[in-house]
Every structure is written in structure tokens, then in C-alpha cells.
Structure 1
Amino acid sequence: MNPIFIDGYSSHRRMLLALVLSSVFIYCDHKLASFETARTYFQSLVSPLQYIANTPKQLMDYASDNLVSRSQLMEDNERYQMNELLLNEKLLQLNILKQENDRLRKLLASPVKSEYKKMVAEILAVDSDPYSQQIVVDRGELDGIYEGQPVIDDTGVVGQVLHVGANNSRVLLLTDITHAIPLRVHRNGIRLIARGTGSVSQMEVNHVPHSTDIKVGDLLVTSGLGGKFPQGYPVAEVIYVSDSSEKEFAQINIRPLVNFNRLRYLLMLWPESLATNDRADSVIKESEQ
């Protein structure tokens, strides 16, 4: 007579098997990059779901933007007029500074650096994992996006592209604990390395001697070292510098200029070499036609 209930693998054996398989998969992904193709495929596969999930938010934003009162419109109009006056005044100052800068460059025989190729992208999703600072944007491989590409907004550097799908990409933010970026102090040119802390409002600078000339309020910009981020883009502001000599290095905390909680539109940058190649290709195509 056959027994009704047959004992299978115990829970301990199943747990051991799961740990072994997980270790094998982690090693293959980290050392051999065996799942890059699968990751790209699934990134593209979930793209329609991300668009669908983002549709209610877009509808709500559209409704809230259009359902405003007459008094709100009048207040906004008055504020816009004041902002226009202020911006026009600043524009006059910038034109004067630009003319002076052009004169200095001619004197120093320093050619003006050509602009980088740019593309606007919109955020589709934000990573819900509190230990991972990543976002998803609506630009992918079909738009020419590549891994390691720098990403900025109107206030400063946001991060770099981590994974690329066909129609969207995943961006690693500066504040992620795995991210580091070479910077320099705008005031005196001192170079240093900043790392993310996992907090959207704070980063840190390590291995800086106490004698280094860094002050609270200093602006930190990209140094251009490493070849990923173009030089001169603002990144953060120094908010704390320790004056204690008990530790070997100074403790320096900085605050990113970008408000990561309010990101919506980003700017994808291409290195000057790629932008130059694109312009050359377009010239060749026009000449062939």
C-alpha cells in the first residue's frame, strides 16, 4: 500500500539550494556580466508598464494645472511680470560679462569651447528602495543613450546612466553610496573626490588634510578628470568643515545643488568628441544628397 503523504526536501535543504544558486547567479552577473543582455531585455519589456503607471500622474498634473481660479491667474501674472523685470536686468549684466570674457579670451588666445550635444529627458519612475538612489528616464538606446553618460539639470550635475534599455534608461544619482565624482573648489582649484551617502541632501569628501584651504560656502564644480563629466559644471556647496585635529583627515560635508526630490526634466550630455562626430556625419550625408 502506497503512503498518501510523501516527504519532499526539508526546508534546510531548500534553503541551502537557494543560497548556492543565488551565489552562482551573483558571481556570474558580477564577474562574467552574463545577465547584461537579459537585464536590457527586461528593462525594455517593462517600459510600457512604466508609461502606463505614469499616466494617472500625468492626468492629475494636467487637471491641477488647468483647474485654477481667476485670482490665482492674476497673482501668477503679476509674479511673472516681476520675474521678467529681474531676469532682464540680469540679462544685461550677463551680456556685459560675456563681452568682457570674449575680450579676455582673445587676449589669451584661448578659443571658446564648443557646446556639448544635449537631449531633454523626462523622469518616468523613482526607485522605491531607500538604499538605492536611482531613477528611470524616457530615453534609451534608440535615442543614442549609453552607459556612463553624464546627466544634469538646470541647477547642476544629477548623475550618470547606469543601465540602458531600448526606450528608457536607469540613472544612478550622485547621492547613491556607490557613486563618486572628481571635483574641484571653484575658488582656488583644489581637487578632491566626493561620494554619496545615501541621503539626497548630503554628500561627503574623504581623505582631505586639515591644512587644505576649504571653507564653508565654497562651490564645488566638476574637474573633468576621469573623462565622464565635463569640467566646470556646478555640483555641491560645502556646508561643514571640521576643525578638530584628533583625526588624520578633515571631515567635510557638502550639499548637492540639485533638489533630487523635485526632479522632472533632465538633460543628457554627450562628450565633445561624439558631438563632433555627429556633426561630421550630418555634413557627409548632406554632401552626398
Structure 2
Amino acid sequence: MDTIFTRGPSLNNRLALALVLSVVLIFVDHKLDGFKSTRVYLNSLMSPLQYIANLPGLMLNESAQRLTSHEQLLEENKKLNDQLLLMSEKLQQFDVIAKENDQLRELLEAPLRIQSRKVVAELMAVDKNPYSQQVVINKGAIDGVYLSQPVIDEEGIVGQVMEVGSTNSRVLLIADVTHAIPVRSLRNDIRFIATGSGAINELYLEHVPHSVDIVEGDTLISSGLGKVFPEGYPVAKVTQVIRDESRPFARVIATPLANLDRLRHLLLLWHTQENQNKADESENGNDEDVEGANDA
């Protein structure tokens, strides 16, 4: 027996009514943005539940990160202690060598090297041309940067400034095919010219006779010739020596010591005016001695 409470629209009519109401609500929410405040209230009510649900996972992740960070810190601390011990030993050697060097310069009456000005620069951009090895740094004319200024990193010589703007500069890397730098072997002081190959990790030594004493593993440092790069800065390490008697010169390949493919912070070097004046006086004195000898 049917009661009054069971009477009502049929299931089909109810479904159609629900669909119509859904479409109307969707239209009002999408076009008129009528439920924006309602969604805000609902999100506010549900956010504590979301935080509570995510809390176990966050606690587990934080605990794992703390354990990992603790292990990493212990390992890094051990490495730093080992490096500190090695650096302390090298520093002791450097102190002895510096004292001996000062004594020898006093005996030879040679002027001591004066520390030049240095400024840290940061890499801004890298040249996208695959045949050109150039970078842009964030120092320019307002910082005193000048053309052909030497640039180094923590490992060795990087290149020289080729263009100077007001706030930035373009640096030509030693690996560029148009770049050449006079170097000498740290082992036996033989001088060479290292030119860029166009590849970021290769330099060529030009016109090396077959009889020259150069072997793999030799360290090349700047010779100071050319008056661009100061003397004594690391440049490259010889990685391959090919002596083919059918060719007039040996083929010598070296790898730059500077991290040319991972540059971030660079160091700009300035030539001191005092050193330049002394060099000019020395050159003038040598010219006068030569003229006097010719007159005699």
C-alpha cells in the first residue's frame, strides 16, 4: 500500500532534474564565478585535514633528510680535515720557499714582486657559437676593466678581455682558435706557444721540434712574455706527444688546467704601475747600454 511519502517524480525525471541543475551550477561557477567564496571556505575547512594527512610523510622525509645530511656532513668534515692537513703541509713548504726566494733576490739585487690588484667577476653568458670560445662577465669599464686584461680562476689562466662595455666585458678563452699564449715548462723552463684548438679541453703547442725535451704530464705555466699574462700562473698540462718523423714538428696536445666548461666566478688581474715603470726603466737602461757599446 502506497503512502503519501512515496509519491513523487519518477527516477527518469529526477535524473533529468539533477543533470539540469548540474549544468546550471557549472555555468554559474565557470562564467559568473558565483562559488568563489564558497570554494575558499571549503578549502579553509579542509586544509587542516590535508596537513594532518601529509604529516606522517613529512616527518619521514625530514627524518631521512636529517640522517642523510648528518652522514654527508661527517663525510665532508673528514674530507675537509684531510685537505686542511695537506694544505698545511704545502703551506709550510711555501713559507720555506718564499724565504729562500727572498734571500736569493736580495743576493741578486732583484726587485720583489708586488701584489697586483684583483677583482672577482661573475659569469653572465656563454657564446653559443660552437666555433668560438668566449664568455661574458659582469665587470666593465666602470670597474676599471681594460682590453687584454688577464683573467684566471682557482685552477689557472682562463683567457683575456677582448671587449669592454660599461658594465660587462667579453673574455676570449685560451681554448679559442684565435688565442695564443706564451708558456714555459715548469720542469725544464723550455718555452712554447700554446694556441687554442677550438675545443674547450684542448690546446696545441706550435712548432715543437722532435728533439725538444717534453713529455706527457709536464705542467705549462705562463712565461710572462708578450706583456699580457703575468709570469708563473698555471696554464695547461701536456696530455699527448706524437713524434712523427715524416712531419717537420712534433704534435703536442695539452689540456687547460682552468675549468673552462664550468666557469662561474673569475678573477681579474691588474698590472701594477710600479712594476710597469720598473720594466720601462730596465728596457731604457738596456737600450742605453747597447748604444754605448755600439759607440765604443
TM-score range, shorter chain: 0.5 to 0.7
Gaps of 5+ in 2: 1-65, 278-296
Cα distance, 1:138 vs. partner? Answer: 0.9
d(CA) in 1 for partners of 2:193, 2:205: 6
8 Å CA contact retained: 2:114, 2:275: no
Q: Secondary structure of the equivalent of 1:199?
A: coil
Aligned to 1:263: 263
Cα distance, 1:276 vs. partner? Answer: 7.6
Q: Secondary structure of the equivalent of 1:221?
A: strand
TM-score calculated relative to the size of structure 1: 0.68
- Comparing 268-277 and 108-117, the one that deviates more: 268-277
Cα distance, 1:238 vs. partner? Answer: 1.3
Cα distance, 1:159 vs. partner? Answer: 0.2
Change (3 A) 1:91 1:174: same
Alignment of 1:61-72 (within 5 A): 69-72=69-72
d(CA) in 2 for partners of 1:256, 1:272: 26
Aligned to 1:200: 200
Alignment of 1:122-201 (within 5 A): 122-201=122-201
Aligned to 1:225: 225
Aligned to 2:87: 87
Offset from partner CA, 1:143-191 (integer Å, 9 cap, x none): 0111211111121110001111111111110001111111122222222
Aligned to 2:21: none
Cα distance, 1:275 vs. partner? Answer: 8.1
Q: Which runs of 4+ in 1 moved over 4 A?
A: 274-277
Amino acid at match of 2:237: E
Amino acid at match of 2:152: I
d(CA) in 2 for partners of 1:270, 1:208: 31
d(CA) in 2 for partners of 1:275, 1:184: 21
TM-score calculated relative to the size of structure 2: 0.66
Amino acid at match of 2:213: D
Amino acid at match of 2:241: V
Change (3 A) 1:275 1:125: farther
Aligned to 2:245: 245
Larger radius of gyration: 2
Cα distance, 1:224 vs. partner? Answer: 1.6
d(CA) in 1 for partners of 2:216, 2:79: 33
Aligned to 1:23: none
Q: Secondary structure of the equivalent of 1:240?
A: strand
d(CA) in 2 for partners of 1:75, 1:224: 41
Aligned to 1:101: 101
Aligned to 2:115: 115
Change (3 A) 1:207 1:82: closer
Change (3 A) 1:86 1:212: closer
Alignment of 1:16-31 (within 5 A): none
8 Å CA contact retained: 2:150, 2:229: yes
| Aligned pairs, number | 212
Amino acid at match of 2:172: L
8 Å CA contact retained: 1:151, 1:268: yes
Amino acid at match of 2:217: G
Aligned to 2:7: none
d(CA) in 2 for partners of 1:209, 1:90: 35
Cα distance, 1:274 vs. partner? Answer: 7.6
d(CA) in 1 for partners of 2:223, 2:118: 20
Q: Secondary structure of the equivalent of 2:269?
A: strand
Cα RMSD of the aligned pairs, angstroms, is: 2.2
d(CA) in 2 for partners of 1:250, 1:79: 41
Aligned to 1:4: none
Cα distance, 1:69 vs. partner? Answer: 2.6
Change (3 A) 1:93 1:190: closer
Q: Determine if the alignment matches structure 1 residue 212 to structure 2 residue 212.
A: yes
d(CA) in 2 for partners of 1:89, 1:186: 21
Offset from partner CA, 1:170-225 (integer Å, 9 cap, x none): 11100011111111222222222111111111110122221222222222111222
Aligned to 1:284: none
Gaps of 5+ in 1: 1-66, 278-289
d(CA) in 1 for partners of 2:107, 2:199: 45
d(CA) in 2 for partners of 1:275, 1:94: 23
Offset from partner CA, 1:58-117 (integer Å, 9 cap, x none): xxxxxxxxx983332332223222322222222222222222222222222222111121
Change (3 A) 1:106 1:274: closer
8 Å CA contact retained: 1:116, 1:275: no
d(CA) in 2 for partners of 1:227, 1:275: 11
